[in-house]
Structure 1
Amino acid sequence: MHRPPAAEAEVAAELADLRPVLGPRYAAALPGARAAVLSRLWRALTHEPLPWVTGRERGRDGLTLRLADGRRLHGPHPDPYATAGYVTAVGLDGTEYDAPDRLMTDLRVPHGAGFAAELGHSVASLALSRAARPTRPDAWPATDWEWERRVVDGHPYHPSCRSRPGFSVAEQLAYGPEHGPVVRLGLLPVAAAECRVAGVWPAWLRDGERLLLPVHPWQAAHVLKRTCAEGFEARPLMSLRTLAVPDGPHVKTSLSARLTSSVRDISVASVLNSAGLSAFAETLAARTDGALHVTRTLGAATAGSPDLGAVWRESPRVHAEAGEHVVPVAALATTALPGDPGWLADLARLALTVGLRLLELGVALEAHGQNLLVVLGPSGEPRRLVYRDLADIRVSPARLARHGVPVPELPARIVTDDATALRRKLFGSLVGGALAGVAGGREALRAALGPAVRDLPRTPDVVALCEEPLPVKALTVMRLSHGATGDRWTTLPNPLSESGS
């Protein structure tokens, strides 16, 4: 057997010193983690517009990719909506690879070396996360952070789903939500005159003429490189940089680390726009007859740098009534839910009705499984939706005006009247992300979407959803596009179609 890739061995060595009890579970989780990341990579290789893939040939025993250098890469027939690690190995000119980082290294494509290292970290971190996976009790969690702790695998389709470069094993154990830690945030005093504030900054985080900005301990150590005053305890949520204060709101902190696709900071513009966007979203949500709530931005502040800022948002649980649970859609795949085959169709119907209603009005939500939450009744029935984090929505002034909605002052980056851009944002995140991630495969997704779209009004947006290929982000193309910014897109076979895969 080949020796383990470097990232896997490094994590094993650190784990042996820090938490040896997890060592055997980590080793046992590695094959499944390799398959999970390799399956995500195979999805990208088979469906994204990679310039060095010149052809794709379907055969009885799988799919063969022709590469620009003449080599051939062979693997199983792909299901672009599958979330299980069904690809355990692929063959490159007769040599089998079960480790995605080694495959990417030997493909020898532009900018592939850095991506290969990320894939190795993704495998090792995913195995570590799975090793610490909490047992799944019959009782549903009582707190928001416990729901989010269940999402141990990260993004359901990104090959860098669990890559955390710059985080040691000790830091992953200390800050990763799947490990269940309590994180003590620091407080950094900054002169109020040097800060920009939106909304209402909490009074208890003011000290005379200074604001006390919450700072994540990783950010303090690695980016700010300074010690912060003792702050308060909070529980990390699945985005890592956002944490739940006990019995209180959520705080998003600056965390200038690359997680999956991008560096997670808080831009000055996003702070300045946060309160206005929050108020605007509330007015739009009011047009859904109570089917959608948006978590309000309570206050935000920046010290003039994306490396130092914070945003306070109300907890989604404020929109739950007695006996109800507010669950991130990403956590549904990890949870025992009603066995009724119509349950997922009910969720799809609710989500599509709300998402398409807002799209018709002029707002395309980025409704992936982290931003979109569902309010479940005591028996698990989907009742309402909650949406959080408005930073990357898209807004059409023309559509708003057509429906008599006042057009507020908006950040230029989120404004577009282009129907393709608007549909990409909603369809790619909601159907190709949130609902597909819960369904776990093409056939289950098709079975859920069919009843959900049957009674929708046949608007141009609905026709596009039902009849055109499904747009999704080309996540691997984006990671291999050195120096390029902005989203890149590809299409997947329409899950509502009877043919294709």
Structure 2
Amino acid sequence: MHRPPTAEAEVAEELAAVRPDLVSRYTAELPGARAAVLTRLWRALAHEPLPWVTRRERARDALVLRLRDGRRLQGPPADPYATAAYVTVVHLDDLAYDDPARLTTDLGVPHGPELAAELGHSVASTALSRAGQENPADEWPGTDWEWEQRVVDGHPYHPNCRSRPGFSVAEQLAYGPEHRPLVALRLMPVRADECLVTGGWPDGMRDGGRLLIPVHPWQAAHVLKRAGDEGPVAHPLMSLRTLALADGGPHVKTALSARLTSSLRDISIYSIGLSATLSAFAETLTAHTDGLLHFTRTLGAATAHSPDLAAVLRESPQMYAGSGERVVPVAALATTGLPESPGWLAEFARLALTVGLRLLELGVALEAHGQNLLVVLSSTGAPLRLVYRDLADIRVSPARLTRHGLPVPELTGRIVTDDETTLRRKLFGALVAGALAGTAGSGTALGAALETVVGDLPRTPDLVALVENPLPAKALTLMRLSPGTPGDQWARLPNPARFGVRHS
């Protein structure tokens, strides 16, 4: 039977045409990339509520999954908070698999072929990303965008960590932040009276009665199919569709109608409409954190009443760094070596939990994962303050705000909820199971850091829920295998908090 070429082979062929000097390095990186993606997939198989896994049996040196069709899947014990690629092979009955795409295909589960294709892209793109790295400099970066480009492997827990279907190899090299390119944005002219604009819109992005909406060149070529006008050059950040203008101006969040990791990266009309209100509301929250948290302001947002043609202009987080300080995305902290110190990790956890739980008590649940959350470091690396960006997916509780005597902003839609489970999942899943876990790198390190600090935090019902219940995390693989189920789905992870809350 003829098998179509794998994503690995397709990337190798394209790479030979556009960057033949990288082919040998790409090939050498493939085994490690397979292990990186397989480790993330095994985490999902071990911990997500997948309907075709009927039982999980744990032994000292193995985990056995009993499948609904009677087959047996076996691999190493799965630490849901580990970031190292420690899974190199798993066994489906008597067959060994080191390729996550082939394993997913042979599992034969509903929607498995689509996920398998994405996993193949994830492996190939991870190997490509690693192949393009230069020897890291010992000196820390001096600009925000250089920190962003240190994140090579993408999402620490999503098997689709580097999946970029729809991007050719040349486009990955031209637009992927880990490849350190300069990207020339396009400007799409649209009549101002045909646009929804919130906040201000800069004069430099106007042409008489028209707005010039910045567009990612991939979007211009593949979705809008219009060249537009020549725009500014910018450095891509870790989300790929958000870029830092090279002249030191604001960050530009562009629509990118491609599926990266889980989601299509367009910009909804809903989020544009609320952006100015959310930004103004967020500024009022800083005073309630004793200055430990700043929000990057939204300077302006515009849409041509289409999620495919929209942009948001935001302050650079660098605005909140003092003399000698650095603002580092939490996802990039692992590249500093700082989290290897248990004392440093505990202090960072103390800062993050103090701020996150305080805002949750007031009525605001941040989606504080490693991309949205940044930390201000002193010249010696001490965590001083936090910076949060991208308010589009926070949750706001009018009831909690009212209880604390805070004004309720005029918000509508999915952002507004008083449901405690929804609020806690939003914060705990992003901050603890995401940002803190990814920084710690293992359940042991995460548990030790939490054990050091939670007894000193205010004993609120939210804190008790955090330490006494399983930890919520998005069931990322289940969501990709459930295209007909809207919204988030959740896994309940073993709680690393191996302690009780001390009574004050």
Q: TM-score range by the shorter chain?
A: over 0.9
Partners of 1:29 and 1:430 in 2: how far apart? 31
Deviations 1:144-194 (A, max 9, x none): 111000001110000000000100000000000000000000111100110
Letter in 2 for 1:486: G
Partners of 1:105 and 1:36 in 2: how far apart? 18
Partners of 1:50 and 1:7 in 2: how far apart? 26
Partners of 1:254 and 1:344 in 2: how far apart? 35
The residue matched to 2:197 in structure 1 has which SS? strand
State the 1:340 CA deviation: 3.8
Instruction: Specify the alignment match of 2:177 in structure 1.
Output: 177
Query: Which of 331-340 and 454-463 deviates more?
Result: 331-340
Instruction: Specify the alignment match of 1:235 in structure 2.
Output: 235
Deviations 1:325-376 (A, max 9, x none): 0000000012233764200100000000000000000000000000000000
Instruction: Specify the alignment match of 2:15 in structure 1.
Output: 15
Letter in 2 for 1:234: A
Structure 1 unaligned regions, length at least 5: none
Partners of 2:397 and 2:94 in 1: how far apart? 51
- Aligned-pair identity (%): 74
- Give yes or no for contact 2:451–2:498 (8 Å, CA) kept in 1: no
State the 1:248 CA deviation: 1.2
Q: Which residues in structure 2 correspond to 1:385-396 (within 5 Å)?
A: 385-396=386-397
State the 1:483 CA deviation: 2.2
Deviations 1:358-414 (A, max 9, x none): 000000000000000000000000000000000100111110000001111113211
- Give yes or no for contact 1:5–1:120 (8 Å, CA) kept in 2: no
The residue matched to 1:269 in structure 2 has which SS? helix
Partners of 1:79 and 1:91 in 2: how far apart? 18
Instruction: Specify the alignment match of 2:63 in structure 1.
Output: 63
The residue matched to 2:418 in structure 1 has which SS? coil
- Give yes or no for contact 1:22–1:131 (8 Å, CA) kept in 2: yes
State the 1:482 CA deviation: 2.0
- Give yes or no for contact 1:155–1:161 (8 Å, CA) kept in 2: yes
Q: Which residues in structure 2 correspond to 1:380-459 (within 5 Å)?
A: 380-459=381-460
Instruction: Specify the alignment match of 1:42 in structure 2.
Output: 42
Partners of 1:157 and 1:191 in 2: how far apart? 42
Deviations 1:113-166 (A, max 9, x none): 000000000000001001112322111101111100000111000000000010
* Residues 1:151 and 2:151 are matched in the alignment: yes
Instruction: Specify the alignment match of 2:97 in structure 1.
Output: 97
Aligned length in residues: 497
Partners of 1:9 and 1:204 in 2: how far apart? 44
Deviations 1:13-54 (A, max 9, x none): 111111111111111111111001001000000110101001
The residue matched to 2:24 in structure 1 has which SS? helix
Instruction: Specify the alignment match of 1:370 in structure 2.
Output: 371
* Residues 1:308 and 2:306 are matched in the alignment: no
- Give yes or no for contact 2:354–2:457 (8 Å, CA) kept in 1: yes
The residue matched to 1:213 in structure 2 has which SS? strand
Partners of 1:228 and 1:184 in 2: how far apart? 12
- Give yes or no for contact 1:64–1:73 (8 Å, CA) kept in 2: yes
Query: Which of 452-461 and 345-354 deviates more?
Result: 452-461
Deviations 1:36-93 (A, max 9, x none): 1001000000110101001111123301101111100000011000011100000001
* Residues 1:321 and 2:322 are matched in the alignment: yes
- Give yes or no for contact 1:338–1:380 (8 Å, CA) kept in 2: no
Structure 2 unaligned regions, length at least 5: none
Letter in 2 for 1:366: E
Instruction: Specify the alignment match of 1:494 in structure 2.
Output: 495
State the 1:5 CA deviation: 6.7
Deviations 1:276-300 (A, max 9, x none): 0001011112211110000000001
Instruction: Specify the alignment match of 1:348 in structure 2.
Output: 349
Instruction: Specify the alignment match of 1:111 in structure 2.
Output: 111
The residue matched to 1:400 in structure 2 has which SS? helix
Is the alpha carbon distance of 1:379 and 1:338 closer, same or farther for their aligned partners in structure 2, counting shifts above 3 Å?
Answer: farther
Instruction: Specify the alignment match of 1:132 in structure 2.
Output: 132
Name the TM-score, length of structure 2 as normaliser: 0.97
Partners of 1:212 and 1:27 in 2: how far apart? 42
Letter in 2 for 1:230: E
Instruction: Specify the alignment match of 2:297 in structure 1.
Output: 296
The residue matched to 2:301 in structure 1 has which SS? strand
Partners of 1:482 and 1:278 in 2: how far apart? 32
Partners of 1:309 and 1:93 in 2: how far apart? 49
Instruction: Specify the alignment match of 1:337 in structure 2.
Output: 338
State the 1:467 CA deviation: 1.0
Partners of 2:341 and 2:266 in 1: how far apart? 41
Partners of 1:61 and 1:152 in 2: how far apart? 30
Partners of 2:34 and 2:499 in 1: how far apart? 31
State the 1:106 CA deviation: 0.1
Partners of 2:226 and 2:391 in 1: how far apart? 31
Query: Which of 341-350 and 448-457 deviates more?
Result: 448-457
- Give yes or no for contact 2:339–2:440 (8 Å, CA) kept in 1: no
The residue matched to 2:304 in structure 1 has which SS? strand
- Give yes or no for contact 2:339–2:345 (8 Å, CA) kept in 1: no
Instruction: Specify the alignment match of 1:186 in structure 2.
Output: 186
Partners of 1:354 and 1:300 in 2: how far apart? 27
The residue matched to 1:79 in structure 2 has which SS? coil
Partners of 1:292 and 1:396 in 2: how far apart? 19
Partners of 1:53 and 1:35 in 2: how far apart? 22
CA RMSD, aligned part only? Answer: 1.3
State the 1:315 CA deviation: 0.2
Partners of 1:170 and 1:302 in 2: how far apart? 29
Is the alpha carbon distance of 1:171 and 1:57 closer, same or farther for their aligned partners in structure 2, counting shifts above 3 Å?
Answer: same
Letter in 1 for 2:225: K
Partners of 1:4 and 1:256 in 2: how far apart? 26
Partners of 2:278 and 2:60 in 1: how far apart? 52
Stretches (4+) displaced over 3 A: none
Letter in 1 for 2:396: V
Instruction: Specify the alignment match of 1:213 in structure 2.
Output: 213
Instruction: Specify the alignment match of 2:160 in structure 1.
Output: 160
The residue matched to 2:80 in structure 1 has which SS? coil
* Residues 1:254 and 2:255 are matched in the alignment: yes
Name the TM-score, length of structure 1 as normaliser: 0.98
State the 1:4 CA deviation: 11
State the 1:450 CA deviation: 1.1
Instruction: Specify the alignment match of 1:481 in structure 2.
Output: 482
Partners of 1:117 and 1:179 in 2: how far apart? 23
Partners of 1:148 and 1:176 in 2: how far apart? 11
